[in-house]
């Protein structure tokens, strides 16, 4: 299945639109249409219900070291600027960019690869964006640069393997990915990913603030408030769903890398001695959730970060990754990161500095040798009132993207199969096999024909079911066509009112995936739909 067919279905059926499309769109921003908004709400509601409100805090769940509590939070997008200084985002949340003086294009320093090549007595380092096709791109560029024809491809003498531009110390011999001359790339420059804004009437630096690049910090700074107001003992998880903003340099792959997106994050606070067990618990729990929501295990992997990849404070991180159709064969894109953050965050907000084990970059010492960013100075430690044990809790963070999850569910659901039409002839059908909990519309109510009182009765059933579920009434066109339309929208059930309904008050209920139909009483519709949604 190609990404193009999914993107086109999303637009055609109203799942996703480009933001500000009538003005040519804005890169990295997407709007959810009528079906998309319901789907994404259902993704967030399923997460919130499974992780927070329906969480069983009385039992020890499979794999968990003990019972635990869960609470929710909804914090502001703009927070005190000091939050981002102490979290490290102000100083460290950036990408390095190189500009091309010739083409005025800008590239991420770590996303350009290059290789030395010699021809006609000249040696250059030819670059291309890192990808499966980079060698083809480099060859084309080298032929052009040396003014060689395709048939002279063997005159190009390649040296060494392809390496990242970050390995180069001088750019004089470098041919930029789109440049005609050598040495047009600038030195790498830092580019902070946080969107800046100004609070109040102050337009100078005193009023400067940032749109949050993650929801997590709101949870850390409220840790004590939640603890005090709920009187929970640890372990405790605090969850938040909300918008985050990152001025991504290269937004791409539909909603996968956007500049405005939603996160679903949990910060799980526990005793340091148990944190490794909790880390293992959350990795497995979160992977299982995607399986339960209908993602085939063959398309999902858990990738443990190598020690080199780990953030300096992280004791362990595992990404849950999905085989998105836009990735190369065998490659996966991150849906969620589960990381063991130790006591890094609470300590930073207390002290504004980090311990000696941390990366020296984050020590942030000022000229006087004192920590550059002051923490809140508040005591964010935890005292267990039963044991009197006092400690800085460790944190496990399962951090998911609502938009990436929604995109993965869309990709996973997209299916093309063959089904008989009204006349029994096999026809290709596009069906979105979304989990019934996630499906934007739960049932379509269809009168078989537009006469004999069928529309009137259908409307009665529709209005009754509407009180409980998002349902849809459709009387336009042949019933087979209406089934197809609802299959494409991912609607799991079609309720059809036919001649027999008028006699015995029964309707047919058709299953989207199997197209099987059975008869149920009108009075049973609500319960049958509810049971089937819950049983997936
Ligand atoms: P990536 O490496 O893909 O940029 P990340 O490691 O920076 O992601 P985190 O900071 O761990 O991502 O954010 C947690 C989750 O938030 C990610 O797993 C992803 O689902 C989501 N997310 C992060 N950046 C974006 C984005 N630009 N667009 C959409 N979702 C995002």
With a 6 Å cutoff on the Cβ, whether 338 touches ligand 1 is: no
Name the band, by pLDDT with cuts 50, 70 and 90, for residue 355.
Answer: very low
Closest atom of ligand 1 to 248 CA is: 27
Measured torsion, CA atoms of residues 250, 256, 258, 263, in degrees rounded to the nearest 10 = -140
Q: Which of 169, 191, 213 marks a domain boundary?
A: 191
Assess if residue 291 is contained within a domain: yes
* Cα distances (angstroms) measured from residue 437 to each of 44, 294, 322, 470, 517: 11, 10, 20, 11, 20
Centroid of chain to Cα 264? 9
What percent of the chain clears pLDDT 90, i.e. is strictly above it?
76
Q: For the chain, how many residues are written? A: 536
Supply the pTM of this predicted model.
0.85
Q: Which residues pair with 447 in a beta bridge?
A: 497
Distance from residue 401's CA to the centre of ligand 1 (Å): 6
**Buried/exposed 26-61: b ≥16 CB within 10 Å, e otherwise:** eebebebbebbebbbbbbbebbbebbbeebeeeeee
Distance from residue 471's CA to the centre of ligand 1 (Å): 33
Assess if residue 142 is contained within a domain: yes
Q: Please tell me the predicted confidence (pLDDT) of residue 493.
A: 98
Are 114 and 162 in contact by the 8 Å Cβ rule? The answer is yes
> Residue with the nearest Cα to atom 20 of ligand 1?
401
281 and 356 in a common domain: yes
Assess if residue 36 is contained within a domain: no
308 and 176 in a common domain: no
Distance from residue 80's CA to the centre of ligand 1 (Å): 23
pLDDT tens for 116-135 read 999 999 999 999 998 878 89
Q: Which residues pair with 322 in a beta bridge?
A: 300, 333
Q: Which of 175, 191, 207 marks a domain boundary?
A: 191
Closest atom of ligand 1 to 405 CA is: 20
Q: CB 534: neighbour CB atoms within 10 A?
A: 9
Q: CA 402, CA 335: separation in Å to the nearest integer?
A: 9
Question: Which region among 56-60, 368-372, 443-447, 525-529 has the lowest average model confidence (pLDDT)?
Answer: 368-372
Distance from residue 262's CA to the centre of ligand 1 (Å): 10
* Cα distances (angstroms) measured from residue 248 to each of 19, 193, 318: 16, 6, 22
226 and 128 in a common domain: no
397 and 308 in a common domain: yes
252 and 265 in a common domain: yes
Q: Which of 140, 157, 191 marks a domain boundary?
A: 191
Assess if residue 384 is contained within a domain: yes
Are 85 and 209 in contact by the 8 Å Cβ rule? The answer is no
Provide the H-helix boundaries in 49-106.
81-87, 89-92
Assess if residue 330 is contained within a domain: yes
Report helix, strand or coil for 182: strand
Mean pLDDT of 502-513: 96
Q: What CATH number is given to the structural domain containing 86?
A: 3.30.930.10
206 and 124 in a common domain: no
Q: Which residue has the tokens 């039992």?
A: 59
Q: Please tell me the predicted confidence (pLDDT) of residue 362.
A: 45
317 and 354 in a common domain: yes
Mean pLDDT of 158-181: 92
Name the band, by pLDDT with cuts 50, 70 and 90, for residue 313.
Answer: low
pLDDT tens for 433-459 read 999 999 999 999 999 999 999 999 999
* Cα distances (angstroms) measured from residue 254 to each of 6, 213, 293, 332, 355: 10, 19, 22, 15, 40
Q: How many domains does the chain have?
A: 3
The torsion region of residue 33 among left (phi > 0), alpha (psi -120 to 50) and beta comes to beta
364 and 337 in a common domain: yes
450 and 303 in a common domain: no
Q: Please indicate whether residue 422 or residue 531 has the higher confidence score (pLDDT).
A: 531
Domain range for 497 is 425-534
Assess if residue 476 is contained within a domain: yes
With a 6 Å cutoff on the Cβ, whether 257 touches ligand 1 is: yes
Assess if residue 40 is contained within a domain: no
């Amino acid at each position: 299945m190609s990404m193009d067919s999914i993107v086109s279905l999303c637009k055609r059926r109203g799942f996703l639109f480009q933001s500000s499309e009538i003005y040519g769109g804005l890169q990295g921003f997407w709007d959810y249409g009528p079906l998309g908004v319901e789907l994404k709400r259902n993704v967030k509601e399923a997460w919130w219900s499974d992780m927070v409100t329906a969480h069983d805090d009385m039992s020890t769940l499979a794999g968990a070291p003990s019972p635990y509590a869960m609470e929710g939070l909804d914090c502001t997008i703009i927070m005190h600027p000091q939050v981002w200084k102490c979290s490290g985002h102000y100083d460290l949340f950036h990408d390095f960019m190189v500009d091309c003086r010739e083409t005025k294009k800008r590239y991420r320093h770590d996303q350009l690869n290059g290789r030395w090549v010699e021809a006609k007595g000249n040696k250059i380092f030819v670059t291309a964006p890192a990808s499966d096709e980079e060698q083809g791109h480099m060859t084309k560029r080298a032929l052009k640069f040396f003014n060689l024809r395709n048939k002279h491809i063997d005159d190009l003498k390649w040296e060494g393997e392809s390496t990242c531009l970050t390995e180069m110390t001088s750019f004089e011999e470098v041919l930029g990915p789109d440049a005609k001359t050598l040495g047009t790339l600038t030195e790498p420059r830092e580019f902070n990913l946080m969107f800046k804004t100004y609070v109040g009437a102050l337009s100078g630096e005193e009023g400067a603030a940032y749109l949050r690049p993650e929801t997590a910090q709101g949870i850390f700074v409220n840790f004590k408030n939640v603890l005090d107001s709920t009187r929970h003992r640890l372990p405790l998880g605090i969850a938040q769903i909300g918008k985050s903003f990152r001025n991504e340099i290269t937004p791409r792959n539909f909603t996968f890398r956007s500049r405005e997106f939603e996160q679903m994050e949990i910060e799980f606070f526990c005793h340091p001695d148990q944190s490794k067990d909790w880390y293992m618990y959350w990795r497995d729990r979160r992977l299982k959730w995607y399986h339960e929501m209908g993602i085939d295990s063959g398309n999902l992997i858990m990738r443990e970060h190598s020690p080199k990849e780990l953030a300096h404070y992280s004791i362990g991180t595992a990404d849950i990754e999905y085989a998105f159709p836009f990735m190369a064969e065998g490659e996966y894109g991150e849906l969620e990161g589960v990381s063991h953050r130790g006591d890094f965050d609470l300590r930073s907000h207390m002290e504004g500095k980090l311990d000696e084990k941390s990366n020296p970059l984050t020590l942030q010492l000022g000229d006087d040798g004192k920590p550059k960013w002051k923490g809140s100075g508040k005591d964010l430690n935890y005292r267990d009132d039963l044991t009197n044990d006092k400690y800085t809790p460790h944190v496990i963070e399962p951090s998911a993207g609502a938009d990436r999850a929604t995109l993965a569910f869309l990709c996973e659901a997209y299916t093309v199969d063959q089904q008989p039409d009204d006349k029994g002839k096999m026809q290709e059908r596009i069906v979105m096999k979304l989990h019934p909990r996630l499906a934007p519309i739960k049932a379509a109510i269809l009168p078989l024909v537009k006469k004999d009182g069928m529309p009137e009765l259908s409307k009665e059933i529709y209005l009754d079911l509407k009180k409980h579920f998002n349902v849809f009434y459709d009387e336009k066109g042949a019933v087979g066509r209406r089934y197809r339309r609802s299959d494409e929208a991912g609607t799991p059930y079609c309720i059809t009112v036919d001649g027999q309904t008028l006699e015995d008050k029964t309707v047919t209920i058709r299953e989207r995936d199997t197209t099987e139909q059975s008869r149920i009483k009108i009075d049973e519709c609500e319960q049958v739909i509810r049971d089937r949604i819950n049983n997936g």
